Each structure stands twice: as structure tokens, then as C-alpha cells.
Amino acid sequence: MPLVNPYCDVDAVYEELRSKEPASETDSGIESEIVEAAINAASRWIERHKGRDYVFHDYSEDALIIRGGIGDGIVSGKFILLPFSPIITLESLVISDEEWVADEDFVFEVGGYRLTCLTGDWPITCPAHTVEIVGEFGYAQASSAV
């Protein structure tokens, strides 16, 4: 089983357990497939427990879409809490087909998790209102599997 976005590697588990992969049927140790399954399960548990993931989310081509009233992201008054953080880059923000300007209409901090409206509450009150965000979020990774 390949590792998918693991938070440690097989060697680290072997070292922690003071074990190794068995070299023969009579050799003691833990099969690497069992260790890989445990690492994947533990990595997903961490994400569920923390309520987030620690991977890269690239929305530089196709926008991240948040709908008012439901789903990914939370719109509350003058804040939009993004479903992925931290913000790496934010190239554009469009609300119901109207482009908003950073530092005039809203602000965000690189490394942050929310957008703050400078003109009052966000005009997002129903599922028909959409927020389209072009940018990159999360943590850069060389690949999704190690």
C-alpha cells in the first residue's frame, strides 16, 4: 500500500518500534505493508481530529467556489473562513460575478485562513450567491505520495 500524504515514513516507525521488516519467515519484525496501512490510518485520523488537512490545494486554474448558506467555507458577517489554510497566494476574488479588489474591498494575510470585508458584511446571504477564489492554499508538497 503506498503512503498518501503521510505525516511520517516507514523508517521512522521502524525506528520508534525498534523493529524492521522481516528478512525471512522465521525473522521477527513487522511487514512494511502493515506499517504503511497504519501510517495512512494515523495520518487520516490526525486530519479528522484537527478538522483540516495539511496538503497543498491549487485553485490557480479552477477557482475555489464557496456558496452562501452551505458547504465549504463559512461566511459570517465581515469574515469568510476558508476551508483550506494557510493562504499561500490569492490572485482574485469574485462575488456573484463582481470582482473585488484586495486592500480596497477586502484584506487577507498570507498564511492566514480568513478574508475580511472592508465595506461591511459580505453580500452573501443565500446559496445563489457565490464566492470564486483563485489562489493557492495549504502546504507545498513535492508529491502526494512519499
- For 137-146, how does the pLDDT look when each residue is reduced to its tens digit (9 = 90+)? 988 766 544 4
**pLDDT for residue 106 is more than 80:** yes
pLDDT at 140: 74
Q: How far is CA 128 from the centre of its chain?
A: 25
Q: Quick: pLDDT tens for 2-32.
A: 888 888 999 999 999 888 887 777 777 888 9
Residue type for position 98: E
pLDDT at 104: 95
pLDDT at 73: 65
The set of cell numbers assigned to 54 is 495539511
More confident residue, 54 or 100: 100
Whole-model pTM: value is: 0.70
pLDDT at 58: 94
The secondary structure of 90-121 as a DSSP string is EEEEEETTEEE-BTTTEEE-TT-SEEEESSSS
More confident residue, 106 or 21: 106
DSSP assignment, residue 130?
E
Q: Quick: pLDDT tens for 39-97.
A: 999 999 998 888 778 888 999 999 999 887 655 568 888 999 888 889 999 999 999 89
pLDDT at 40: 93
CA distance 65 to 124: 13
pLDDT at 70: 53
pLDDT at 129: 86
